[in-house]
């Protein structure tokens, strides 16, 4: 095997990538993370919500997207719990309710009481339920995930379906997710909506941000790190709540490795093409 074939061996690239990801994580390297406009927009919107507003957090992702979306869900939920707001947890993915419970276990809930300040309603099986929730919440969610009748929950009595949600945040890994809410909540009722998105889906949500249909987008794990830094600056929460800040060096180095691979690949391609052209026929 010549030296070019060794260099292009995928195993070499895998080893390099493993190194650039694991070394920063093991050495606990940290990096300043500039705040994106899309992240600040979500933070500012939640920060300026009037007291006792209702926020709906929708866990529209499965366990495979946990590395990207779960840190976002943790920091946003912590922010909402630090403010005098009411929160309902729902999910359009079957994994969502368990992931919402994991988020509730990870954050500091302060003096918020279940049923009064927040409640977990569980799984939304289809778009029919998303539509129905806006007119009769109790019909579609007769009980919460703890088996309590929603009629007995003070938060539901305080916010019947006719009283609109002040903000919906969909941590969306695809369909069903943000687009379902845009179609059935934001467009007909004007419910303010924000998105948490993996990096691959964010370009698809960008048109809705530019047309002000969504107040902001949290893009991948980086947005969680940015949000965590904003929370720390504003509310003095400890760094490391979501684990995103400590992963930023690993993420940066892996992205830089991919950029380097593209450049090296193209240089090799052009050198190879020139040699082929210059070779005697």
Partner 1 sequence: MATTKRKMTREELILQVIIFSLGFFFAFVYYVRVSEPIDLQAVSQQLFAYLTAMLTAAFAIGMINLTRVHWINIKRKRATWKFSVILIASLYGMAIVSLISSPFALDPQAAVIPQGVINLFNPIFDFLYYKVLVTINSSIFSLLAFFIASAAYRAFKARSLESTILLLAGLLVVIGQAPVADVAWPGFATIRDWILAYPNTAGQRGILIGAALGILAFSVRRMIRYPWGR
Residues engaged in binding partner 1 (CB under 8 A)? 8, 10, 13-14, 16-17, 21, 31-34, 36-37, 62-67, 97-98, 100-102, 120, 122-123, 125-126, 128-129, 131-132, 135-136, 139-140, 145-148, 188, 199, 202-204, 206-207, 210, 219-220, 222, 225, 248-249, 251-259, 261-262, 264-266, 269
Rounded least distance, CB 52 to partner 1, Å: 26
18 vs 116, beta carbon nearer partner 1? 18
Query: What is the sign of the dihedral through the CA atoms of 250, 252, 255 and 260?
Result: negative
The three-class DSSP label of residue 135 is coil
Rounded least distance, CB 40 to partner 1, Å: 12
235 vs 269, beta carbon nearer partner 1? 269
Rounded least distance, CB 145 to partner 1, Å: 4
DSSP secondary structure code for residue 114 in this structure = B
66 vs 239, beta carbon nearer partner 1? 66
Backbone angles phi, psi at 121, to 5 degrees: -90, -20
The three-class DSSP label of residue 156 is helix
43 vs 59, beta carbon nearer partner 1? 59
Rounded least distance, CB 92 to partner 1, Å: 13
Q: Provide long-range contacts, Cβ within 8 A and 24+ apart, for 129-133.
A: 130/92, 130/176, 130/180, 130/181, 130/184, 130/185, 131/184, 133/90, 133/161
CB 221 within 8 A of CB 202: no
Q: Cα–Cα distances in Å, from 50 out to 68, 101, 140?
A: 29, 26, 28
CB 169 within 8 A of CB 39: no
Rounded least distance, CB 100 to partner 1, Å: 8
Query: What is the sign of the dihedral through the CA atoms of 219, 53, 55 and 103?
Result: positive
77 vs 166, beta carbon nearer partner 1? 77
155 vs 202, beta carbon nearer partner 1? 202
Rounded least distance, CB 268 to partner 1, Å: 8
* Pairwise CA distance, residues 168 & 53, whole Å: 11
27 vs 135, beta carbon nearer partner 1? 135
Rounded least distance, CB 210 to partner 1, Å: 5
Q: What is the DSSP string of 196-232?
A: EE-TTTHHHHHHHHHTTSSS-EEEHHHHHHHHHHHHH
Backbone angles phi, psi at 54, to 5 degrees: -95, 130
Rounded least distance, CB 82 to partner 1, Å: 24
52 vs 273, beta carbon nearer partner 1? 273
């Amino acid at each position: 095997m010549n030296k070019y074939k060794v260099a292009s061996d995928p195993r070499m690239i895998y080893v390099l990538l493993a190194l650039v990801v694991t070394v920063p994580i093991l050495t606990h390297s940290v990096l300043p993370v500039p705040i994106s406009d899309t992240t600040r927009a979500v933070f500012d919107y939640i920060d300026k919500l009037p007291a006792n507003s209702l926020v709906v957090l929708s866990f529209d992702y499965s366990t495979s997207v946990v590395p990207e979306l779960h840190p976002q869900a943790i920091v946003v939920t912590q922010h909402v719990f630090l403010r005098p707001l009411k929160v309902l947890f729902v999910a359009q993915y079957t994994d969502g309710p368990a992931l919402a419970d994991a988020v509730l276990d990870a954050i500091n809930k302060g003096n918020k009481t279940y049923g009064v300040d927040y409640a977990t309603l569980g799984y939304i099986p289809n778009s029919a339920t998303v539509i129905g929730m806006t007119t009769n919440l109790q019909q579609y969610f007769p009980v919460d995930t703890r088996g309590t009748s929603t009629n007995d929950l003070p938060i539901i009595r305080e916010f019947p379906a006719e009283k609109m949600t002040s903000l919906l945040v969909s941590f969306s890994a695809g369909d069903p997710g943000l687009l379902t809410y845009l179609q059935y909540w934001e467009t007909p009722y004007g419910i303010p909506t924000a998105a948490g998105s993996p990096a691959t889906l964010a370009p698809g949500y960008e048109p809705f941000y530019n047309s002000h249909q969504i107040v902001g987008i949290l893009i991948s794990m980086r947005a969680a790190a940015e949000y965590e830094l904003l929370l720390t600056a504003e509310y003095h929460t400890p760094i490391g709540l979501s684990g995103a800040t400590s992963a930023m060096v690993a993420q940066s180095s892996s992205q830089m490795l991919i950029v380097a691979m593209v450049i090296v690949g193209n240089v090799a391609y052009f050198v190879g093409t020139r040699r082929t052209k210059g070779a005697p026929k």
